[in-house]
Amino acid sequence: MTEPYSLTLTEAARLVRERKLSPVDLVEAALTRIDRLDGSLQAWVVIDREGARSAAAELDREARHGHLRGPLHGVPIGIKDIFYTAGLKTEAGSKVLAGFVPDHDAEAVTRLKRAGAIVLGKLATTEFALLDPAATRNPWNLGHTPGGSSSGSAAAVAARMCHAAIGSQTIGSTIRPSAYCGIVGMKPGYGRISRYGMIPLAPSLDHVGILARSVADAAAMLDVMAGADPRDPGSLALASGGFIHAAARTARTPRIALLPAVFDERANSGTQQAMAAAVAKLAAAGACVEAVEAPPSFGEIVANTGLELIAEAAEAHRERFTEKKDLYGPGVRDVIERGLVTPAWKYIRALEVQRRFRREVDQICLRFDVILTPATPAAAPAGLGSTGDFSFNLPWSASGHPVVAIPCALTPAGLPVSIQLTGASLEEGRLLSIARWCEEILAFDALPPAAPS
């Protein structure tokens, strides 16, 4: 019999709906799994055993009486520790916020609970979702980074300690750890999910991210979180929903653009081989694949986005930094100090480059359904002193286009490699449909050895 913790989110939710599985059993299986594995993985910073068990009991009663709150009814998830959670510590991996307990939930958390999800606890993050690493280890190899900043979210989902999790992405903080940990990651388009109650880093770049075990799971998470919120200035005032149905539709064979000169040629040989094999499988299944030139402003986007980030991070932390500078880690402190002396003209120019790059990516998306690139230049590097290379994720955080990462292969050393699919603005449904098609063709089903059954 399949263990409850090994089910995908959508499988677990279906069994709850059919009254073949209890939310209580799901929570107990997850807590047992956490007790077994998290001593070595260190993905969790807060485990709300009492709250999760209480919620599971209530949701179980509701399910037995035929009342289901939504598509996530009774399924345990994790929350990155930069999202407010009422009654649970929210410290953002920093001494600066030690002991802080919010009195309300972030809007994304509110919507997940409203859909029936059960919050198991808070997941480790690099300090303020930036550079200084968390203690979390990669379940594929404990000596390697899980990536960041959504380190705990990726490790917990990969190790099957929760069925899905939310993270964030300002540069590469959802897609990179998803790739390093061999799971599905999704960065929806900018403004698609409210960031109200999410501790900001750089508001013009910040996105809520999704870490899951399948494309269908990511679609279910997006479906319940997406939608306008007047409390988030970047929120899209557009109707949302239908993502579950979009992911379930059979996609026509897609038109796929490659950008080999700025991605594949900068990847290491193992990633290049994995990408070539993945593209060959997709083409053999009917995809139309074409190499195209990079957008003209591509060469400027890395430096300009970095400047934008430090300027906005300095503003986000300015008052707190004045009072508690010595409590910040060295990486965050350096970013804030550089941002505080950034000239306004440089920041304004960076915003203009961002707008120009977004328009140029839009032009590619008029001709193709998705842009396919490696998710990272290489598999997760050894050591826990950094969270790896974010350069392949940065362009799509700057442009704000939606992205899905899907694992496609293992290196000879047994570490996962992923493709990254970037879709057109406001077209998450079409992107999810194509990602589901690619997922089925690539058929990656390996599990991390550091998190055995």
Helix (H, G, I), strand (E, B) or coil at 214: coil
What CA–CA distance (Å, rounded) separates 61 from 51?
16
| Catalytic residue status for 149 | yes
Radius of gyration (Cα) for the chain, nearest Å?
A: 20
Supply the DSSP string of 411-449, one letter for each residue: -TTS-EEEEEEEE-TT-HHHHHHHHHHHHHHH------T
Catalytic residue among 150, 151, 173, 240: 173
DSSP H stretches of helix in 231-329: 243-248, 269-284, 298-324
- 11 is written with which tokens? 């499988």
Question: Which residues have a Cβ under 8 Å from the Cβ of 417 and sit 6 or more positions away?
Answer: 179, 270, 271, 274, 275, 374, 375, 376, 379, 407, 408, 409, 410, 411
What CA–CA distance (Å, rounded) separates 80 from 129?
9
What CA–CA distance (Å, rounded) separates 31 from 15?
19
Axis-axis angle for helices 215-225, 107-114 (nearest 10): 110
Helix (H, G, I), strand (E, B) or coil at 167: strand
Question: Which residues have a Cβ under 8 Å from the Cβ of 355 and sit 6 or more positions away?
Answer: none
Residue pair 409/182 in contact by the 8 Å Cβ criterion: no
What CA–CA distance (Å, rounded) separates 133 from 153?
14
What CA–CA distance (Å, rounded) separates 237 from 182?
33
Residue pair 175/390 in contact by the 8 Å Cβ criterion: no
Helix (H, G, I), strand (E, B) or coil at 380: coil
Q: What is the DSSP letter of 130?
A: S
| Catalytic residue status for 453 | no
Distance of CA 306 to the CA centre of its chain: 20
Catalytic residue among 149, 150, 240, 433: 149
From residue 96, give the alpha-carbon distance in Å to each of 88, 92, 100, 203, 405.
16, 9, 9, 20, 33
Residues recognised as catalytic: 80, 149, 173
